[in-house]
Structure 1
Amino acid sequence: MIKKIIIGCDHLGRGLKDSIKEHLISKGIEVNDIGVNSDDAVDYPDIGKELSEKVQQKEYERGILVCGTGAGMAIVANKFSGVRAVCVNDAYTAERSIASNNAQIITFGALITGAPNAKMYTDIWLSNDFQKERSGKKVDKINLLDE
């Protein structure tokens, strides 16, 4: 099980981010919350960049980003070489994002996914591992696209 994680959001995702953070802390996971912590409008690419760089540099094994739809944050995170991010809206995607795609970052849309489901999807994602023997070759091909 992951011992520490990084989490961030824009102003639209703050409430959901806070719920996920509290849930993770209650499970004994150390959470680095890079914000935001107010309702002041921010540009989601700034938060997505900060978190994705830390995952890319292997300061964190996994991260969670929250914005209005989750799509924008996923696009930002996927711009970073070696980083794979998936917008999660259901339990199956939560599982397969790590098992098949080795996604280090998941994103949520606070306007789409409620806190109970986001917490459940996060637990599923964190309780699964990459199935390298089955999907390693495919992820290697994805990583070649970074070059």
Structure 2
Amino acid sequence: MMKIAMGNDHSAIELKNIIREFVEEKGYEVIDFGTNSTESCDYPVYGEKVGRAVASGEADLGIVICGTGVGISLAANKVKGVRACVCSEPYSARLSRMHNNSNVLAFGARVVGSELAKMITEEWLNAEFEGGRHERRVNMLMEIENR
């Protein structure tokens, strides 16, 4: 069973729970690294936890959610081996997997509603890396990371 690491800050508890249920209904196991408290907290903590779980192989993929998706994705992207993409619509989510081999999806609880978030998540989960000319470019990204 494929494992999905999920992380969120205080602004995204409700959407995280909706997406968690959606992902579990699709047959994925969810490892929840997010907060369940509405008290203000620091999104980098949760972005890093998800990033480390994906990079170590504890999870196959990750989903991170904060107010905009930007901050938490930046935190996840600081972990070597993570390619987190912020997506506010399904097309970019699908292409981020097909062309960029993204392994962490990010979106904003204050940007997308729950139904759009489900569509984004479904497109992302169903897409597969195409390789080919994209493999060379992803390898170039990894080379930058290793410098």
* TM superposition shift of 1:130: 0.5
* TM superposition shift of 1:134: 3.3
State TM-score, norm by structure 2.
0.95
Is structure 2 residue 95 aligned with structure 1 residue 96? yes
Q: Distance in 2 between matches of 1:116 and 1:65?
A: 16
Q: Distance in 2 between matches of 1:55 and 1:144?
A: 19
* TM superposition shift of 1:61: 1.5
- Identical-residue share of aligned pairs (%): 38
State TM-score, norm by structure 1.
0.95
Q: Distance in 2 between matches of 1:146 and 1:24?
A: 30
* TM superposition shift of 1:24: 1.0
Residue deviations 1:82-110, cap 9 Å, x none? Answer: 21000010111010110000010010100
**Where does residue 127 of structure 1 map in the other structure?**
126
Q: Distance in 1 between matches of 2:128 and 2:63?
A: 16
- The residue matched to 1:145 in structure 2 has which SS? helix
Residue deviations 1:6-40, cap 9 Å, x none? Answer: 11100001111111001111122111111211211
Q: Distance in 1 between matches of 2:80 and 2:24?
A: 29
Which residue identity is paired with 2:70?
Answer: A
Q: Where do 4+ consecutive residues of structure 1 move more than 4 Å?
A: none
> Which residues of structure 1 form unaligned runs of 5+?
none
**Where does residue 53 of structure 2 map in the other structure?**
54
**Where does residue 41 of structure 1 map in the other structure?**
40
> Which residues of structure 2 form unaligned runs of 5+?
none
**Where does residue 16 of structure 1 map in the other structure?**
15
Is structure 2 residue 83 aligned with structure 1 residue 116? no
- The residue matched to 1:82 in structure 2 has which SS? coil
